[in-house]
């Protein structure tokens, strides 16, 4: 497997500086941040077999996969999503029978693709895992629901909508699942205000998050 070069968007450094007394080495970390890397063939192992089968079954699916950390991620346009999950579930060479998780991610600095939905698929037949990632914009945050293929994704999609404001078209009941029904906004977006109320504990008062010092 050969990596396609991607320019780092930032450098992540350790939380503590020198002289802090930290002996873990965490303070000396300096790591480039690279998002959504695409690898080039061959990927190795069963990754090429799964990628080739998906590409053969789903017209229009781009050949864009990432194999970091020994896991296979397919970057899927939203118009291809239902075709991909149906193929992944039903094809004998794939057989990803279970969608174990659906979750959202917010990248406010990625213009036009600020919101991402990640689907984690499991093949019990072949003992394999596949991740699908779909990106949409904050202005048009609509993705087709996968509940017609994986009915138990119902609750995961509701939570993703509740926390990130990503709408799942044709979901059977897209309502809040964690926050109260009358809650305004979506708390896991990175531009969501911290807000809060002060908390008193044993005579000491902790200010709300938006009034605490920045780390």
Most confident of the ranges 14-18, 23-27, 67-71? 67-71
Burial of 77 (0-12, 13-18, 19+ CB in 10 A): middle
The answer to whether residue 19 sits within a structural domain is no
Averaged pLDDT, 73-96: 98
- Enter the tokens of residue 30: 């300096």
pLDDT given for residue 80 in this prediction: 98
- The C-alpha angle 34, 37, 40, rounded to 5 degrees, equals 140
Three-state SS at 93: coil
The answer to whether residue 23 sits within a structural domain is no
Which CATH number belongs to the domain containing residue 184 in this structure?
3.30.460.80
The answer to whether residue 196 sits within a structural domain is yes
The answer to whether residue 16 sits within a structural domain is no
| Residue 82 domain boundaries | 2-6+35-211
pTM score, whole prediction: 0.83
Closest CA to 1 of 39, 38, 32: 39
pLDDT given for residue 152 in this prediction: 94
Distance CA 181, CA 50 (A): 41
Instruction: Please count the structural domains in the chain.
Output: 1
The answer to whether residue 22 sits within a structural domain is no
Averaged pLDDT, 136-149: 97
| Kind plus residue range of the DSSP H or E element containing 131 | strand 128-136
The answer to whether residue 169 sits within a structural domain is yes
- The answer, yes or no, to whether residue 31 has pLDDT greater than 90, is no
The answer to whether residue 105 sits within a structural domain is yes
Question: What percentage of the chain carries pLDDT values higher than 70?
Answer: 85
- 31-40, 65-74, 130-139: range with lowest mean pLDDT: 31-40
pLDDT given for residue 23 in this prediction: 65
Which residues does 184 contact at the CB level (< 8 Å), separation at least 6? none
The confidence band for 19, taking pLDDT boundaries of 50, 70 and 90, is low
Under a CB-based contact definition with an 8 Å cutoff, are residues 179 and 165 in contact?
A: no
Averaged pLDDT, 96-114: 96
- Enter the tokens of residue 145: 């629901």
pLDDT given for residue 11 in this prediction: 81
- How many Å separate Cα 155 from the centre of its chain? 16
Distance CA 164, CA 147 (A): 18
The answer to whether residue 21 sits within a structural domain is no
């Amino acid at each position: 497997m050969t990596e396609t070069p991607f320019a780092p968007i930032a450098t992540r450094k350790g939380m503590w500086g020198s002289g802090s007394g930290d002996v873990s080495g965490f303070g000396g970390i300096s790591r480039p941040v690279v998002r959504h890397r695409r690898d080039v063939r061959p990927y190795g192992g069963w990754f090429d077999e799964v990628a080739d089968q998906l590409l053969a079954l789903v017209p229009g699916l781009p050949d864009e996969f990432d194999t970091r950390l020994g896991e296979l991620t397919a970057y899927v346009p939203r118009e291809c999503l239902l075709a991909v999950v149906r193929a992944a579930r039903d094809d004998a060479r794939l057989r990803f029978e279970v969608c174990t998780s659906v979750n959202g991610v917010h990248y406010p600095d990625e213009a036009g693709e600020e919101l991402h939905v990640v689907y984690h698929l499991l093949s019990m037949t072949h003992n394999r895992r596949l991740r699908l990632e779909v990106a949409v914009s904050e202005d048009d945050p609509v993705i087709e629901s996968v509940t017609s293929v994986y009915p138990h994704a119902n609750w995961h999609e509701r939570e993703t909508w509740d926390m990130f404001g990503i709408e799942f078209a044709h979901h059977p009941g897209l309502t809040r699942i964690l926050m109260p029904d009358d809650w305004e906004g979506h708390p896991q977006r990175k531009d969501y205000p911290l807000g809060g109320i002060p908390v008193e504990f044993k005579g000491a008062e902790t200010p709300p998050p938006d009034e605490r010092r920045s780390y």
